[in-house]
Structure 1
Amino acid sequence: MSPKTTASNRGRGRARGHRQWDDMLTPGRVIVGLLAVLALVFIFENTRTTKIRLLFPEVTMPLWLALLGTALIGAVCGAYFMKRR
């Protein structure tokens, strides 16, 4: 037997394409997930309406919608710049 197929190594290899929780839950992903949950809690706690002025028009809308829109625009911009790296 070659060293790669000894009895101690059998059963330890993962099937191709199979991911374990250790690979999926990296510290960076956990932190980003927690920050996303905190951002959503912050957004949905601010439900009152507010006036927002865009260049010329003034709009009245729920604050949570404005915060969610801003967060989505920021996420799209961040993803775009990380993709270009």
Structure 2
Amino acid sequence: MRQKTKSPESGVRGGSRREMFTPGRIAALVLAVLALVFIFENTQETEIRVLVPVVTMPLWAALLATGLIGALFGAFFLTRRRC
């Protein structure tokens, strides 16, 4: 019986669970879960000054927005560094 092998051009990576769950990925996942718990535990309303206007919004929305902006900037600079 012949085994099917995938070529590198197919875009499918063959890897074991050991490669999938590296210590860095586990740490990032734990930090992301902790950040989400922290964000969604803070549900009270807060006033935020955005340059001139004062905006009243739930604190969880402000924390989530700043976290997403930080993640986008981090991903942008990480990919810029690799090139």
Q: Which residue of 2 aligns with 1:37?
A: 33
4+ long deviations beyond 4 Å: none
Q: Deviations over 1:56-78 (max 9, x none)?
A: 00000000000000000000000
Name the CA distance, whole Å, in 1 between partners of 2:64 and 2:16. Answer: 32
Q: TM-score of the superposition, structure 1-length normalised? A: 0.80
Structure-to-structure mapping, 1:1-85, within 5 angstroms: 15-16=5-6, 17-85=13-81
RMSD: 1.0
The residue type paired with residue 34 of structure 1 is V
Amino acid at match of 2:25: R
Larger-Rg structure: 1
TM-score (norm 2): 0.82
Of all paired residues, the percent bearing the same amino acid is: 59
1:28-84, Cα deviation, whole Å (9 max, x unpaired): 000000000000000000000100000000000000000000000000000000001
Q: Could you list the runs of 5+ residues in structure 1 that have no partner in the other structure?
A: 1-14
Partners of 1:49 and 1:25 in 2: how far apart?
Answer: 38
**Secondary structure of the corresponding residue to residue 51 of structure 2:** coil
- Structure 2: stretches of 5+ with no match in the other structure: 7-12
Task: Count matched residues.
Answer: 71
